[in-house]
Chain A
Amino acid sequence: MKTTESLQGQALGLVLCHVCQQLNQSKVGHCRRCGQALRQRDHGSIQKSWALLITAAILLVPANIYPITTIVKQGKIIQDTILSGILHLVQSDMLPIAIIVFVASILVPWLKIIGLVIYLSAISFNIPVSKRKLMVGFHIIEWIGRWSMLDLFVISLTVALVNMGQLLDAKPAPAATAFALVVLLTQLAAKVLDTRLLWDRLEKQDDAN
């Protein structure tokens, strides 16, 4: 079902409550059902989203270059970064596990940050990219982003189980905190953004989806 003219709620004097999805008149200040303050557009959300995203991108560097786990094996200290941990998994014939960890800890965070940069740039600098594709990508990012938590859960289980002193002992290392913050900040960056802004800005110039 293709609408002949694409009318936005803004033009009709209507606004959707983002908490309870109730349709409201634009002139009322608060949602008549849940009482949430209503906003036709949240223009400040682009800046908030950029700020969170840039912070996350900076933290991605220590998350990848510092070790994420420290293992003491018979007195020897072995430190693993995210990447070297995955390589160890490949070497010890655990390819499926290596792929899962690779997707969750490297592919997803990088794609998420690159994807959000493209999305926010398209809004901020009016870059003519297919809006529909951007939106689909955005929903994928929103959904898949939380899976990056996997590695942190694995670390917490490993640290709790492997504590045999000098014989064998696993501990988290500094990249763990940086990585946790990357996940948190990128999720927030996607969450605070008012996606309707994308469709307003480009609407003025061309309607090529």
Chain B
Amino acid sequence: MVLCRSCDLAIRKRALPSNVRAICPRCHSVLYDSPYCSINGMLALCVTALMFYLPANLFPVLEIHFFGSIRTTTVFQGALAVMDQGYWIVGIAVLVAAVLAPGVLILSIFTQILIVKFGLKTHPGRALLKHLLRHQGLLSELTMLEIYVISFLVSAFQLSDFSDIFFGIGTFCFVMLFVTTLFLQREYNLDHMWSFLDENH
């Protein structure tokens, strides 16, 4: 038995083939999909994402040449630039959505994987896993790498009107960070992660 989280309809749960989602017959919200995620696959994606995370944030994502003067910016400097002008709400939004939330998200999933692999029998491990899973939804919503990637493409087009645009190693790393995080979030299944806490008490 499951309940639809959007309309509270009671539905008998059935096994699903892979890549199929169950939809609520009354309100058409997604009910559940096959609760599976490859722990080792996620570990690989996590390590890859972590490797790209630092260069993506340390190297400039965009560089412009304008009458001989060169300006570069990282994601972090972009956030600081608007904060310097007194627009700290905008700056914090950029910082959280494009720098902090993705980093914490990847670290959180990495820790969850390590606990599932090695620490599921220990009490602190289980407590930490529960804590991380409770905040997973929020972190996932705050992560806006896909929007950021589109926005630096938009900026590049706009700026190319009067200056020369260059992409650097930082751009490449940021796009790779976005791609690996996208696959990681696709592979990740919150129901499955919670079910690790049900088993082996």
> Which residues of A are in contact with B by a Cβ distance under 8 Å?
1-3, 6-10, 12, 14-16, 18-23, 33-36, 89, 92, 94, 97, 100-101, 131-132, 135-136, 138-139, 146-147, 149-164, 167-168, 171-172, 176-177, 180-181, 183-184, 187, 195-196, 198-200, 209
Taking a contact as CB atoms under 8 Å apart, the answer to whether B87 and A176 are in contact is yes
Which candidate, B49-57, B90-98, B175-183, is the interface stretch facing chain A?
Answer: B90-98
Across the interface, name the chain B residue whose C-beta is closest to A94: B157
User: Which residues of B are found within 8 Å of A19, using beta-carbon distances?
Assistant: 134, 137
Cβ of B27: which chain A residues have Cβ within 8 Å of it?
Answer: 131-132, 135, 199
With both chains docked as a complex, state the minimum distance between the C-beta of B23 and any C-beta of chain A, in angstroms: 9
Please give me the residue from chain A that is nearest to B64 by CB atom.
A161
Determine if A14 and B147 form an interchain contact, defined as CB atoms under 8 angstroms apart. no
Per-residue CB contact flags for chain B residues 65-82 toward chain A (1 = under 8 Å, else 0) read: 011010111000111111
Distance in angstroms between the alpha carbons of A155 and B154 in the assembled complex: 10
A156-B81 contact given A3-B25, A21-B5, CB 8 Å threshold: yes
Question: Could you tell me how many residues of chain B have their Cβ less than 8 Å away from some Cβ of chain A?
Answer: 63
Residues of B in contact with A (beta carbons under 8 Å apart): 1-3, 5-11, 25-29, 32, 61-62, 64, 66-67, 69, 71-73, 77-82, 85, 87, 89-91, 93-94, 97-98, 130, 133-134, 137, 141, 144, 147-148, 150-152, 154-155, 157-159, 161-162, 190-191, 194, 197-198
State how many angstroms separate the Cβ of A152 from the closest Cβ of chain B: 5
Q: Using known A-B contacts A33-B194, A149-B144, A150-B147, determine if residue A158 contacts B158 with beta carbons closer than 8 Å.
A: yes
User: Contacts A9-B8, A23-B3, A156-B90 known; A176 to B64 CB distance under 8 Å?
Assistant: no
Task: Assess the A161–B159 pair: CB atoms within 8 A.
Answer: yes
Which one, A10, A139, A162, A177, contacts B8 given CB within 8 A?
Answer: A10
